[in-house]
Structure 1
Amino acid sequence: MDQIIGSSPTFLDMIDQVSRAAPLDRPMLVIGERGTGKEMIAARLHFLSNRWENTYQKLNCAALTTTLLESELFGYEQGAFTGARGQRAGRFEAADQGTLFLDEIGTMSMAAQEKLLRVIEYGEFERVGGTETIQVNVRVVAATNIDLPSAADSGEFRHDLLDRLAFDVITVPPLRERPEDIPVLANHFGAAMASELEWLHFPGFTNTAMEAMENYAWPGNIRELKNVVERAIYQAWDGEEPINNIIFDPFDSPFRPAAKNSAPTNLSATVSTDQASHTEALLPTVPFDYRAEVEALERRLLDHALKTTRYNKRLAAKNMGLGYDQLRHLIKKYQLSC
């Protein structure tokens, strides 16, 4: 099992929930943004359970078409489809008495969801193209980065399957909600990369570099942090001095090709009469409280700038033409959560 690193209260609360849920022989749902480590949490659920000595199977549902996914899950009989030259067992048979981890379960078709529900409910299924009912004892752990209740409400996911999977839901916190863990993780990944490059020692990071990482929003979470740290280490060449140069966006270059259908740079030239009328319609009716309106507008602008940068405060400040300390003052003034 891969090492899970963290000591922040939010992270430790989640780990405690995993430890309590692991011994229970029930389906589990792991929710979290991309790069938060959902697969590692699923593995922990298996290896801390009574099934730890048995098979642990993993399958990414998003990587396969509906037909291939069903064949991979349930197996198939000879002649079930073109190219099916022999009988093949699926992942459920391979995971009998063990655990099956289904990643990106939100992408599964409704037909596959119906078959999955039957296996979870009754522990039985038929191979694709077969009639024999096969019995298995498999614990299902599923993961996704989408809001499954909303998907179920919109008809994209079965409510009954969601009810069965959600015996308990483990939500993995994003890295921006566990800032205390950033230095620990950065040094862990840095030391590992320095060892891979056969450096005599890992010199660590400068205060400036660490502060930059602590203030970054990490939309790609731990996976992105690992990439950023490893990139910084290999670009430092010899490792004699603490690492100072942190590149968050490797695509940032003056020679980067322009995006297709990019928005025009001169926005003022695109404003039509209708748009100008719409802007006037947004103005408050007279009389109005000037200070309250200004504060409301300032709050909306701050919220918009932070959301569009995924709460990267330094980038938001740059986009607004403010200093970093000025932005922090405004965030504190309006008690914005970020």
Structure 2
Amino acid sequence: MAKQNQQDNLIGQSNALLEVLEHVSQIAPLSKPVLIIGERGTGKELIAERIHFLSTRWDQSFIKLNCSSLSDSLLESELFGHETGAFTGAKARHEGRFERADGGTLFLDELANTSGLIQEKLLRVIEYGEYERVGGNRSLKTDVRLICAANEDLPSFADAGEFRADLLDRLAFDVITLPPLRCRPEDIMSLAEYFAIGMARQLRLEYFAGFSASSKQILLDHQWPGNIRELKNVVERAVYRNQQRDKPIQDITLDPFDSPFRPKQSIRTQDRRPSKAAVTNDTSSISAANGANAATTNAAQLSFPLDFKTHCEQQEKALLEQALTLGQFNQKKTAELLSLSYHQLRGILKKYNLLDKD
């Protein structure tokens, strides 16, 4: 399966892809940490697999974990393991990913979503090759090559205090940045034909009749925000929907949700999230409050010279406190009110020591 997936990602002859593969070949033999940066769907996990199988650890374990799929406590246990009785439900000792990957490679995806605690423990493993199981008091040694991936600009996160700069320094022995599919236009049809043939085999068709000129143009003109993963879905959907199996594909559906009957907002969404009106009212309240504050500031006679940085920080902190109040101190809702991601908001709250607000 790993070889199959690698082939999926390695199809193409664009200069952008060939440069990445050359970079991978150079770094693979070393047992140094590697950081892979790229948009969703560009094949970060597949590049990590290629690094592993081209390394001297190719015959050892390749263990992977998506850091965004688990809570902090579960992620800590999955990474470092836990002892019997470490927490409620821990009825037996659990081997973490570092223990299982000993001698091989550990791939951590979505690294930007990890907490400060996890980042601190990762730093210790990289620096000293040591860790402790959750609930344990004995240091364990590990020999693991760490490959991490993110679809965020980690240096900007570090500058904003949302990611440990010292951990980023350790991980970034070398950084491989993957090109999005829109920067590899000459590879689009090669990938599309590969995925189409694979889908034809799944459907037990005798052959794949190809793409029409118009369908090719649609594929080439699209910007592919979901990259290779999106292309694969679009092509496979087109193959199975094609009723004239012996003729080239004419119809390409880029957005499967596109329908004149598509509901604007489902009942379930209304139950789980604040209504549009509520969010609009909250946002309007913030805007009105900001306007009032701005008017007050403009009307007041500021004393110059002033400390520009301190003045801006005071204004920013006041806005955060106002948004937290309107969001009922729910950080996810507060982030939505400020048009920030959850992790961006937490980084800013940490900067002003507002994380412990009730």
TM category, shorter: 0.7 to 0.9
Shift of 1:244: 1.1
Equivalence for 1:199:
205
Equivalence for 1:116:
122
**Structure 2 counterpart of 1:39, one-letter code:** E
Equivalence for 1:261:
276
**Structure 1 counterpart of 2:231, one-letter code:** L
Q: Secondary structure at the match of 2:236?
A: helix
Equivalence for 2:170:
164
Which is helix-richer, 1 or 2? 2
Equivalence for 2:187:
181
- Mapped partners of 1:227, 1:204: distance in 2: 16
Equivalence for 2:46:
40
Equivalence for 1:210:
216
What whole-Å deviation, never above 9, does each CA across 1:213-250 have from its counterpart, x for those lacking one?
00100000000000000010000034110001000000
**Structure 1 counterpart of 2:101, one-letter code:** A
Shift of 1:261: 3.3
Equivalence for 1:76:
82
1:92 to 78, 98, 114: 98
Shift of 1:194: 0.8
Matched, 1:139 2:157: no
Q: Secondary structure at the match of 1:248?
A: coil
2:242 to 227, 236, 243: 236
Q: Secondary structure at the match of 1:58?
A: strand
Q: Secondary structure at the match of 2:148?
A: strand
Gaps (5+ residues) in structure 1? 265-338
Matched, 1:222 2:237: no
Flag as ranges the 4+ runs of structure 1 deviating above 4 A: none
- Mapped partners of 1:189, 1:18: distance in 2: 24
Gaps (5+ residues) in structure 2? 266-274, 281-358
What whole-Å deviation, never above 9, does each CA across 1:64-116 have from its counterpart, x for those lacking one?
00000000000001111001111111100100000000000000000000000
Q: Secondary structure at the match of 1:36?
A: coil
Equivalence for 1:148:
154
Tell me, yes or no, if the aligned pair for 1:206 and 1:243 is still in contact at 8 Å. Answer: yes
The two structures have a TM-score, normalised by structure 2, of 0.72
What whole-Å deviation, never above 9, does each CA across 1:302-322 have from its counterpart, x for those lacking one?
xxxxxxxxxxxxxxxxxxxxx
- Mapped partners of 2:132, 2:16: distance in 1: 42
- Mapped partners of 1:188, 1:177: distance in 2: 19
Matched, 1:106 2:82: no
What whole-Å deviation, never above 9, does each CA across 1:167-217 have from its counterpart, x for those lacking one?
110001000000000010000000110111111110010111011100100
Q: Secondary structure at the match of 2:185?
A: coil
The two structures have a TM-score, normalised by structure 1, of 0.76
Tell me, yes or no, if the aligned pair for 1:199 and 1:238 is still in contact at 8 Å. Answer: no
Equivalence for 1:31:
37
Equivalence for 2:71:
65
Shift of 1:258: 1.0
Tell me, yes or no, if the aligned pair for 1:77 and 1:88 is still in contact at 8 Å. Answer: yes
Tell me, yes or no, if the aligned pair for 1:186 and 1:225 is still in contact at 8 Å. Answer: yes
- Mapped partners of 1:86, 1:257: distance in 2: 48
Tell me, yes or no, if the aligned pair for 1:14 and 1:170 is still in contact at 8 Å. Answer: yes
Q: Secondary structure at the match of 1:26?
A: coil
Matched, 1:249 2:264: no
Tell me, yes or no, if the aligned pair for 1:37 and 1:222 is still in contact at 8 Å. Answer: yes
